[in-house]
Structure 1
Amino acid sequence: MEKAEIIAIVVVTVIAAAELFCLFICSKLQNKSYPLCVALPVNSQDKELPQRLEYIASLIEEGSTFIGTVLLINIDGTDEQIQLCRDFCAHYHAMELTTAAELENKLRMSL
């Protein structure tokens, strides 16, 4: 390799390292996080809904993720599933139970 190629590789590597440092470390130090909105459809065929809700709840409790809001979208959930979702929403304020029609209206209002 020529000297110019080695210098270019080193410069690009240093720039990439600086960008990664600022992206992950500097934003944490300044308490800047970019919260995510998680959408979880609730339908009658989903037999693993309790496990999914428990997993999301554990992520929220640990604080290890950037989850800001969890939208539980009722598509055709059973009464038991809806009650389970309501219980989780009452316990975790980041969770919100909504329907597809309500979600569409909320999104239109936010634009």
Structure 2
Amino acid sequence: MEPAEITALTVVFFIAAVEICCFFVISKLRGKSYPLYTVIPVFAEDSELSQRLSYIGSLIEDGSSLTEHIILIDCGGTAEQLELCRTFCTSHHAAELILPEEIEETLRNYQHFH
């Protein structure tokens, strides 16, 4: 065998070994994932709520978000903001709009699912 052939085979075997190792490492990490929750308080003063919800929605749609649940907390939001939140919750089933006094109960319910 020529030195160039030996080098090429060595490189190919090395790449294959790295791919196999990465496959097993990634599959092990997926089995250890834990649910993440995103909590967004909705204040009347928040002028960027629409952009924030659009951003989170785009992360969910393209699959780059690890968030499993989105909790929107009505902390005195305007009627327009709350309607925006309701629309977001309708289009993203992982989202829920709650009142501040419902936080503990909501988190307990999520704990029972996992």
Q: Common fold, TM-score beyond 0.5?
A: yes
Please give the alpha-carbon distance, in whole angstroms, between the structure 2 residues aligned to 1:33 and 1:69. 14
Residue 36 (1) aligns with residue 1 (2): no
Root mean square deviation of aligned Cα = 2.5
Matched residue, 2:81: 81
1:91–1:108 Cα change, 3 Å: closer
Matched residue, 1:69: 69
How far residue 107 of structure 1 moved from its aligned partner, in angstroms, is 3.3
What does 1:1-111 align with in structure 2 at a 5 Å threshold? 25-27=26-28, 32-107=32-107, 110=111
In the TM superposition, what whole-angstrom CA distance separates every residue of 1:50-69 from its partner, at most 9, and x where no partner exists?
00000000111011121100
How far residue 33 of structure 1 moved from its aligned partner, in angstroms, is 3.0
When normalised by structure 2's length, the TM-score is 0.68
Overall identity of the aligned pairs, in %: 46
1:107–1:65 Cα change, 3 Å: closer
3-state SS in 2 of match to 1:82 = helix
In the TM superposition, what whole-angstrom CA distance separates every residue of 1:56-89 from its partner, at most 9, and x where no partner exists?
0011101112110000000000000000000000
Return 5+ residue gaps in structure 2 as ranges.
1-21
Which has the larger strand fraction? 1
Q: Which structure's CA Rg is the greater one?
A: 2
1:68–1:100 Cα change, 3 Å: same
* Runs of 4+ residues over 6 Å off in structure 1: none
Please give the alpha-carbon distance, in whole angstroms, between the structure 1 residues aligned to 2:63 and 2:31. 13
Please give the alpha-carbon distance, in whole angstroms, between the structure 2 residues aligned to 1:58 and 1:108. 28
